[in-house]
Structures are given as C-alpha cells and as structure tokens.
C-alpha cells in the first residue's frame, strides 16, 4: 500500500503534463492535480516532499522536453542537462516544498480550509519558481496557461495566470480531500461549497470581463515570418537570404498599408549599429512602406553584445533601440558565472548585456511595448510595460531553436495569457512560427503555422484595462501566501491525519 501514493502521484504528474501543447488535453490539468493532492494529503510532510520531488521531476521533464532541441547538440554529451537541470530545480521548488506544505496544512488546518491552503501554496509555488527566483526562474509549465480556451480564462484578467492555477487547484484539492474524508465517513459539504463558489466567481468574472466589450480593431499591423532555419541562420549565406527575404516580404506587406511592421528576434544577425549601410537600408525601407518598422537584430554597445529591436519611423528616422531585459539563463548569459564557469557547457553560453528600460515606442498614435522572446513569459515585466503606458504589445521571438516540438506552441500559448491579463492586443512575430495577432480575449484572430514563409496582416484595437493591470503578480502571490498562513493558523494545534 505504501507504493500506491507514489504511483498515483507519478501518474497524475504525467497526466498534468499532457494538458500542455502539443497534446492539449486540457481537462487533465485539474484531474491530474486531484491525484497529486490525494497523495500529499495522505502523507507526512517529509514523505510528501519526496513524493513531490519525484512527481515534479516527471511533470517538468515532460513539459520541458523541448528545452534541449538544437541547443543540446551544441554541448553534447551534456545536452540532457538543458531539460533535466531545470526540471529537477522546479520540481524542488514547485512540487517538493509545496507537497510538504500541503501535507503540513492537512495535519494542522481545520478540515474546511485545508484544501484551500493546499491550493494557495501550490499556486504560490508556481509564482515563486517562475518569477520569485529572479533571473533563475523558469516561467513555463504553469497550469493556468492550459486554460486559455476554457471558461476559467477570463479570471486571468483579475488575478492573472497564477490565480487561474489557484482556481484549478481549489477544484482539485477539495475533490481529493473529499475522497480522503469519505473513507473516514466525513462530509462532502465543504467540497460542494467550494465548487459553488468557483462557479459563481467564474460566471461573475466572465460577465464583467472588459474584453467582452472590446472596440472594433482599426489599427492595421503586419508580422513577417521569414522561416529561416536555426541550423543555417548564422551562416553568411543565410544572412543574405534573410536580408532579401524580409525586405521582399515587407514590401509585399506594405501593399495593404499597415501602420506597424514587425520582424522577429535577431533575424538580422549583425550588429546594426556597426553597419551604417544596413541602417540606411532599413531606414529607406521604413520610409518607402510609410510604416513603423521593427527589426530584430544585434547591437554592440560599450563593448557588449545586446539582443535588440530597432524601431524605424515612417519617415525613415531611427525611433529607438530596445535592449532585451530578461536573458535566458545559461543560453544568453551565465548566472553566477564566477562560480559555475568551470562547468564545460557553461563556456558555450553567450554573454549578452542586459537592458534596463521598457523601451515603449509610439507608432502612428499608439504606444507599443517591445518584448523579446523569453520576456513574454514574465507576467510582472509585461504588467510593468503596461503601467509605463503601453497600448499594445509586440512580441518578437526566435522559436526556431525548438523546431516542431511543443516549445513554440507553449510559448505562443503564453502570449495569449499575457493578452488576457493586460487587456492588450499582441502582435507576435516568430522566425519560423507561431506568428499572429492576439485579441485581449486571448484569441488568435490570425495565426501562422510552423515552418512557413508568410505575412500576418490584420487589425488591432484599443486596450481594455483589467484589474490585473493594477495588481500584477506580486500582490497575487503575497495574497496566496497569506491565505495559506491564515488557513494553517486557523487550525493551529489541531493535528488531523487523513
């Protein structure tokens, strides 16, 4: 019988991972969580820790399986660490420690609030491992992302993705606790109350959702997807091909008179500020298209390489240069390089400089927040951009690193939640896909396929401010942490074994 909780937890973790793209079995997010909470509720904190570590390693290894695509070959035979390292780290913070705290709450809290405490600490753990760890955070694998097309999606406009995770976990935790209590002849009444509350709040959230009353989109934009493969992108031949292809596609897009044209991340593999002829060429291109042209490229500033977006005004002048603020650990920079520089694969990482400003740019009367790739997964960074005055979001990314794995799909899904959270339209340009235009409802109004050369052309509209704009992730996370502490304190001195 001792193996039963372990088996249930591992199977549940695998099921939860299948809720994410590409499988998209969305219902398995809360269903899988039921098994996980059931295992934790019946364990001591110490045993729940180890169950969580094992289950979390399974969950994140499946969810992060695409991390090593392409890049893994560069550091062979250490490539498997690109998946296993983050998986074990997030399993420790997001499942092992959380499991111990869930089991502790089950022992110490009053029965009606023990599942509430468990749900709160799980969602808090998601925030902590994603954004609370700073530059070491891995902001993927949040259960809330799987619900972008479910009735729970509008809740992100009020409490963000972590709040959606909390709601899912409330349903799962109370179901798991009811199963445990039933074996002890307990009542299912608290579970019914919890489910009723979730249903009522979800209905209210949908009824008051600002995105339901979005104005007609009138601002025409275009995203260029040139489909240059990662394997050849950095070769001289590919540079010439990319330059010709993106300029040709941009001229073609200009026929529909977009007011903004966005190229993906680093499609021009040269330091633009060291190439006056290239700068002049793009200036001429922007002027001929009469659109704000956003070019993903590189820059060398004060001897440091930067991943940047250049903004050229419709008159051809240089508007601004945005430097990427959130770099991918162990890919674009090495955290704590002084201490880990001896590791062989650490020497393969790039050493980009870090930007320190939001770079909000105005284009034809609308203010855009530039976001490069990895940055779109950080809710707090995007909310800060909105607070700085962004009317819409530009996401320029190079997901070609991950081929046709689940990676590009998961990343594209994350952008949908950023749209819901902020009530902003999103223009997403990806090197090989998925490019598209996302409405404040989180729905792609236009969307490309992977591995195609294409132009995404359409309209975006005015922002629909949300409650989450004012809150951001930190207050939500603090609220979840406080809820856990209050629930445990309520039942202080009461030890209940379930």
pLDDT (tens digit, 9 = 90+) per residue, 300-343? 999 899 999 999 999 999 999 999 999 888 777 776 555 455 45
Residue 77 has what pLDDT? 58
Binning pLDDT at 50, 70 and 90, where does residue 496 land?
A: very low
Of the ranges 69-83, 189-203, 327-341, the best mean pLDDT one: 189-203
Do 35 and 177 lie in one domain? The reply is yes
Do 220 and 201 lie in one domain? The reply is no
Residue 346 has what pLDDT? 53
Residue 187 has what pLDDT? 52
Do 459 and 477 lie in one domain? The reply is no
Report if residue 495 sits inside a domain: no
**What is the Cα–Cα distance from 172 to 89, expressed in whole angstroms?**
24
Do 479 and 421 lie in one domain? The reply is no
Do 368 and 443 lie in one domain? The reply is yes
Residue 343 has what pLDDT? 55
Do 454 and 478 lie in one domain? The reply is no
Binning pLDDT at 50, 70 and 90, where does residue 84 land?
A: confident
Report if residue 16 sits inside a domain: yes
**What is the Cα–Cα distance from 20 to 161, expressed in whole angstroms?**
14
Report if residue 498 sits inside a domain: no
Residue 348 has what pLDDT? 53
| Comparison of pLDDT for 111 and 93, the residue scoring more | 93
Q: Mean pLDDT across the chain, nearest whole number?
A: 91
Do 304 and 362 lie in one domain? The reply is yes
pLDDT (tens digit, 9 = 90+) per residue, 16-71? 999 999 999 999 999 999 999 999 999 999 999 999 999 999 999 999 999 887 66
Q: Sign of torsion, CA 50 93 466 218? A: negative
Do 277 and 170 lie in one domain? The reply is no
Residue 178 has what pLDDT? 87
pLDDT (tens digit, 9 = 90+) per residue, 237-292? 889 999 999 999 999 999 999 999 999 999 999 999 999 999 999 999 999 999 99
**What is the Cα–Cα distance from 357 to 209, expressed in whole angstroms?**
31
Report if residue 357 sits inside a domain: yes
Do 206 and 253 lie in one domain? The reply is no
Residue 319 has what pLDDT? 94
C-alpha neighbours within 13 Å on the C-beta side of residue 78: 11
Domain count, the chain: 2
Report if residue 496 sits inside a domain: no
Inform me whether the pLDDT recorded for 347 exceeds 80.
Answer: no
On whether the pTM is more than 0.75, the answer is: yes
pLDDT (tens digit, 9 = 90+) per residue, 360-396? 999 988 999 999 999 999 999 999 999 999 999 999 9
Residue 111 has what pLDDT? 83
pLDDT (tens digit, 9 = 90+) per residue, 351-368? 789 998 999 999 988 999
pLDDT (tens digit, 9 = 90+) per residue, 460-475? 999 999 999 999 999 9
Do 44 and 84 lie in one domain? The reply is yes
| Comparison of pLDDT for 489 and 182, the residue scoring more | 489
Residue 71 has what pLDDT? 66
Do 75 and 159 lie in one domain? The reply is yes
pLDDT (tens digit, 9 = 90+) per residue, 201-220? 999 999 999 898 777 889 99
Residue 406 has what pLDDT? 96
Domain of residue 323, residue span: 215-463
Report if residue 420 sits inside a domain: yes
Please report, for the domain that includes residue 457, its CATH number: 3.60.110.10
Inform me whether the pLDDT recorded for 403 exceeds 60.
Answer: yes
Do 188 and 307 lie in one domain? The reply is no
Report if residue 468 sits inside a domain: no
């Amino acid at each position: 019988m001792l193996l039963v909780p372990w088996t249930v937890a591992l199977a549940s973790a695998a099921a939860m991972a299948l809720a994410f793209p590409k499988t998209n079995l969305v219902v398995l997010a809360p269903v899988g969580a039921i098994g996980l909470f059931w295992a934790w509720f019946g364990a001591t904190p110490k045993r729940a820790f180890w169950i969580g570590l094992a289950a979390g390693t399974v969950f994140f290894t499946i969810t992060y399986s695409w991390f090593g695509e392409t890049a893994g070959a560069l550091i062979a035979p250490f490539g498997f660490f690109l998946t296993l390292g983050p998986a074990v780290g997030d399993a420790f913070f997001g499942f092992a420690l959380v499991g111990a705290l869930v089991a502790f709450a089950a022992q110490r809290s009053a029965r009606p609030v023990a599942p509430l405490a468990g749900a709160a600490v799980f969602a808090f753990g998601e925030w902590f491992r994603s954004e609370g760890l700073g530059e070491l955070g891995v902001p993927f694998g949040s259960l809330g992302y799987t619900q972008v097309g479910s009735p729970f999606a509008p809740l992100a406009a009020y409490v963000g993705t972590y709040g959606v995770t909390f709601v899912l976990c409330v349903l799962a935790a109370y179901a798991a606790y009811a199963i445990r209590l039933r074996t002890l002849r307990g009542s299912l009444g608290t579970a019914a109350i919890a489910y009723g509350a979730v249903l009522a709040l979800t209905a209210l959230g949908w009824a008051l959702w600002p995105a339901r009353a979005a104005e007609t989109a009138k601002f025409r934009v275009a995203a260029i997807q040139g489909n240059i493969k990662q394997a050849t992108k950095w070769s001289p031949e590919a540079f010439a091909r990319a330059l010709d292809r993106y300029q040709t596609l941009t001229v073609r897009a200009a026929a529909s008179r977009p007011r903004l044209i966005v190229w993906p991340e680093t499609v021009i593999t040269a330091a633009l500020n060291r190439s006056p002829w290239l700068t002049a060429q793009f200036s001429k291109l922007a002027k001929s298209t009469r659109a704000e042209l956003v070019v993903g490229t590189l820059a060398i500033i004060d001897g440091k390489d930067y991943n940047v977006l250049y903004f050229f005004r419709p008159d051809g002048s240089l508007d601004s240069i945005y430097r990427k603020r959130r770099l991918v650990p162990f890919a674009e920079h090495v955290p704590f390089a002084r201490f880990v520089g001896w590791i062989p694969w650490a020497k393969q990482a790039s050493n980009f400089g870090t930007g320190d400003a939001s770079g909000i740019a105005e284009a034809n009367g609308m203010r855009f927040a530039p976001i490069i790739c990895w940055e779109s997964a950080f809710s707090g960074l995007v909310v800060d951009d909105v607070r700085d005055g962004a009317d819409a979001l530009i996401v320029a990314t190079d997901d070609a690193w991950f081929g046709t794995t689940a990676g590009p799909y998961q990343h594209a899904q994350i952008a949908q939640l950023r749209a819901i959270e902020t009530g902003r339209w999103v223009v997403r340009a990806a090197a090989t896909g998925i490019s598209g235009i996302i409405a404040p409802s989180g729905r792609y109004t236009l969307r490309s396929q992977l591995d195609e050369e294409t132009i995404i052309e359409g309209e975006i509209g005015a922002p629909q401010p949300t409650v989450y704009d004012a809150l951001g992730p930190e207050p939500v996370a603090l609220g979840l942490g406080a809820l856990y502490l209050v629930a445990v304190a309520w039942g202080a001195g009461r030890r209940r074994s379930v």
